[in-house]
Chains A and B, each alone.
Chain A
Amino acid sequence: MILLKEARQRAENDARMHGYYLHPDPEFLRNLLEGLTRNEDRYGYPSCPCRLASGKFEFDRDILCPCEYRDADLEEFGFCYCALYVRKDVHEGKTSIVPIPERRPMKKQTRAYAKVVETSTEMQPHVPSTESEQPSNIEMKMWYCRQCGYMCFREDPPHVCPICKAKAEIFAEIIITTQVLTPIRRVKE
């Protein structure tokens, strides 16, 4: 079980590393951090407190806090979707925090509604399924950054290259084709 202070420490460290701040309202911030700890307890990972998680890691990986959309939201609006992370001008009160549109693609959002065999009842901890009857329909691909060469294995390319900050459009898919040129023969001893 993760403690609130650990969640706070983790968020503070991440904010510092990226030059961000945490939500300026202490009570709102505590609610978000409590939400993260609750999600980590019930799902096994800290998914965004303000988004509906499926409880399946492969469906929720893009909304693990800090989510994939955070940096783009901070750049455009000054704060992320749940408003845990904010930009300096927001921290200083120069920009106010208001609800912002969801950047997560609809196809990923709807995965939290996909029909699965198990059901969770109210107030019972959600048990992450290990072997669902529904096979994962996510197609993972290999991508590389054409600017710096960074490679990753994901459903989509990242919004921004974590190494050189190139945008998603710079990424290209790596397609590996195999061709057997000569038949392989086992050499008898």
Chain B
Amino acid sequence: MKSNKVPGRNRKHRVLLYAISTCGWCKRTKDFLKDNDIEFKYVDVDLCSEEDREEIKKDILKRGGRLSYPTIIVDDDVIINGFHDDMIKEALGI
């Protein structure tokens, strides 16, 4: 699956964002991470092949998440559904 990498000076955590390319909340999340200089990878799920979508679905569900976007996964450990900046800040320690 192809992910896009956004460089940032803060590389303390491994951040993966599942997003939808047309979603306002997903854009807000991307902007938030960029503004905070966080390095992250993102996948626009709507631009993915059906096989990749299925993989993403399994990945989110196995972590106990919901199939809504944005979904942010920090360090393979924390999953946050929706742009909850307070939760993202806490997970990233910023």
Spell out A's residues near B (CB within 8 Å).
23, 28, 31-32, 34-36, 38-39, 49-53, 82-83, 98-99, 101-102, 106, 109-110, 112-116, 118-123
| Residue pair A115, B54 in contact (C-beta under 8 Å) | yes
By Cβ-Cβ distance, the 9 closest A-B pairs, closest first, are A35-B22, A99-B82, A49-B22, A119-B49, A50-B23, A31-B24, A113-B57, A122-B47, A102-B68
Cross-chain pairs A/B with CB under 8 angstroms, 13 sampled: A23-B24, A28-B24, A31-B27, A50-B22, A53-B46, A82-B24, A99-B84, A102-B67, A102-B68, A113-B50, A114-B50, A122-B47, A123-B47
Among B24, B44, B48, find the residue whose CB has the most chain A CB atoms closer than 10 A. B24
Q: In the assembled complex, which residues on chain B have CB atoms less than 8 Å from the CB atom of A114?
A: 50
Checking B28, B47, B66 against A120 with a beta-carbon cut-off of 8 angstroms, the contacting residue is B47
Query: Shortest Cβ distance from A59 into chain B, in angstroms?
Result: 13
- In whole Å, how far is B37's beta carbon from the nearest beta carbon of chain A? 21
Please determine whether A52 and B49 come into contact, CB atoms closer than 8 angstroms: no
* A119→B54 CA distance, assembly (Å): 12
Residues from chain A with Cβ under 8 Å of B50 in the complex: 113-116, 118-119
Give the residue name and chain of the B residue nearest to A102 (CB). Answer: B68
CB nearest to A109 among chain B residues:
B67
A82: contacting residue among B23, B44, B57, CB under 8 A: B23
User: CA separation between A120 and B68, bound complex, in Å?
Assistant: 20
Report the separation of the CA atoms of residues A36 and B47 in the bound assembly, to the nearest whole angstrom. Answer: 15
- In the bound complex, what is the Cα–Cα distance between A88 and B79 (angstroms)? 33
Chain B stretch 6-29: residues in CB contact (< 8 A) with chain A? 20-28
Q: Chain A contacts of B27 at CB under 8 A?
A: 31
B69 at the interface (CB under 8 A from A): yes
Chain A residue, CB-CB nearest to B66: A102
- Contact assessment for A49 and B47 in the assembled complex, using a CB-CB cutoff below 8 Å: no
The answer, among B23, B28, B44, B82, for a CB contact under 8 Å with A49, is B23
Interface pair B54/A49, CB less than 8 Å apart: no
